[in-house]
Amino acid sequence: MRKFNPSSISFVAIAIVLLWIKTYIVYKTSFDIEIENWKQEFILFMNPLSFLMFIFGISLYFNEKKRNRYIIIASFIVSSVLYGNVVFYRFFNDFLTLPVLFQTSNMADLGSSVNSLLNVTDSLYFLDFVILITLIKLKPAFITNRSFSKVESRTYLLIAVAISFLNLGLAETERPQLLTRTFDREILIKNIGTYNYHLYDLFLQSKSSAQRAFADGSELVDIDNYIKANYEEPNNEYFGIAKGKNVILISLESTQSFVVNRTVNGEEITPFLNDFIKESYYFNNFYHQTGQGKTSDSEFIVENSLYPLGRGAVFFTHSGNEFEATPEILDENGYFTASLHANKKSFWNRDIMYQSLGYDRFYEINDFNVKEENSVGWGLKDKEFFEQSVQHLKEMPEPYYAKLITLTNHFPFELEEEDQLIEPFNSGSQTLNNYFPTVRYQDEALKLFIQKLKDEGIYDDSIIILYGDHYGISENHNRAMEEYLGEEITPFVSTQLQRVPLVIHIPGHAGKTISTVSGQIDLKPTILHLLGIHTKKNIDFGSDLFLDDKMEFTVLRDGSFITKDYVFTREICYDKSTGKQTDQNVCDRYKEKAKNELEYSDAIIYGDLLRFYENIEYRGDLTKQLK
């Protein structure tokens, strides 16, 4: 029997070691992965190894020529996957998923956003690939001609399997039920690694695709019981107070609450909004709950009172589902419903998804006069967008529900000099520096829009709702944010920074600040109740924001949650009054509720369960009706 000769697989070993070390370096330099102890550090270091051994081990079954070619190709592909995650993480502070990769129709429109994420030094992410090619050309002695025995191949495979099980076993000791109870991709990457995570993601994609095919609606029983158990009757003081009024819903691109009532370089960032909230209802503990779908996720949450998916965007992955969205409900109650957005209708698959949501009309880029001189960054400037949108509003039959989606305050936050009303901030982050002038420009555009509504006689016949769609400044800019805020950005502070403005202006009502913990998921029942439309029959996970005793509980897509007194994020429970870590037990009673809501919502989307609910007039005994 031939003895196992380690030198004979030196080229394979070099490929593994180079990519292994590179991956660990990328973990430490390109991703912000929080490590709490030596065991987590060891798991992070070890987790790429088993995957790389399997991938490159396949080459042991090839002859020399094919083996070398396979190793080179595999190295390039794996490096590309790693680099793709790096670029994606630079802005979204998140990792790629298969549904995101399927969103290719968005790529052509990303333009400067993608370019700003690329660096000259990015070629270093493929340095190991270059080294391997150099070794083949200049050091052929590393490569042998012999084949490998079954014993050698099996020994290699057993080592790879042993390392894989060791990795998973250690990960389970750090995070029990890692693969069944985790909504946070960072935790998965930290424990099983980028490459194994993508295999797991492939499994989840296959599972979700099969979910709809095998769904029969029986899952709606538990969901229905949960919804009914948590339903709260509307506040009579506010129910129907805006009945018959137009609804103008404005999505404020990338706008976070930290800019409200604050200054930069001694200048107010949002002077108009600061004044407008004094004559409106302002919710200062309102959180965005978006995932990878960003603006489209915020639309989905607001319209459906369902959570977005943890992977990809519902607008892409499940645009053909049956929904009971706000536009469809309002259409049934005599409203004309429209969305206005000066972008291509196919972006975020809106032209398809809006049909499923029940919109009567989509005013897209071809409905606006878009020219080079009135555009910047992602397209039509907000001032021009609002000016032209007023003309569309005037043509709509009343009452109408109109959603307007702004563009200018979008990464990479480009603005022409003549539109800058305040100077950029001065920090090490160009993104944060430029963010303030674009927010200020958006604020000025809102001011002109509101005045135009008054001039056209629309203002007094409409409720006006402004909400931030998602964060604009990711955790990748924490150092600069610390400089601006004057405090350390802990996980607690980072979660608090996920608050976005919500302003509801109702004609004839005085201003009031409401500090109830809430989220985008609460907007649908709130709007419908203001218009006098009951929601008891709806599958909604949110609740009316004007309830006197609303439960103060908001779940973020990564499984974090916020209550009146506590914040739970990254497996740590924080006391909101101090911002310090507190007894885990006080958060434990909310964990099951957070998990249930995310899983129930996922089940509805993946299984397209509302198609079984479409013709049910009342959910009195859903079990019998489904039978």
Tell me if 342 sits within 8 A of 368, measured CB to CB.
Answer: yes
Phi/psi of residue 246, nearest 5 degrees: -70, 155
Phi/psi of residue 3, nearest 5 degrees: -80, 150
d(CA 389, CA 369): 11
Tokens 């270091």, located at residue: 45
Which ranges in 215-363 belong to alpha helices (H)? 220-230, 271-276, 294-304, 314-317, 326-332, 350-357
Active-site residue, 295 included: yes
Tell me if 9 sits within 8 A of 61, measured CB to CB.
Answer: no
Up-side HSE of residue 524: CA atoms within 13 Å toward CB? 27
Closest CA to 288 of 527, 604, 560: 560
Up-side HSE of residue 19: CA atoms within 13 Å toward CB? 33
H/E/C letters for each residue in 102-120? CCHHHHHHCCHHHHCCCCH
d(CA 205, CA 209): 6
**Residue 373 burial (C-beta neighbours within 10 Å; 0-12, 13-18, 19+):** exposed
Q: What sign has the CA pseudo-torsion 180, 183, 189, 195?
A: positive
Question: What Cα–Cα distance (Å) separates residue 15 from each residue in 28, 339, 370?
Answer: 20, 52, 51
H/E/C letters for each residue in 461-477? HEEEEEEECCCCCCHHH
The one catalytic residue among 295, 406, 438, 563: 295
Neighbour-count burial for 389-422, b at 16+ CB within 10 Å, e otherwise: bbebbeebeebbbbbbbbbbbbbbbbbeeebebb
Tell me if 432 sits within 8 A of 480, measured CB to CB.
Answer: yes
Token readout for 159 is 């080592």
d(CA 546, CA 236): 10
d(CA 297, CA 316): 10
Q: What angle do CA 346, 97, 100 make, to 5 degrees?
A: 10
Closest CA to 408 of 437, 388, 450: 437
Tell me how far apart the 2 most distant CA atoms of the chain are, in Å.
93
Tell me the catalytic residues.
295
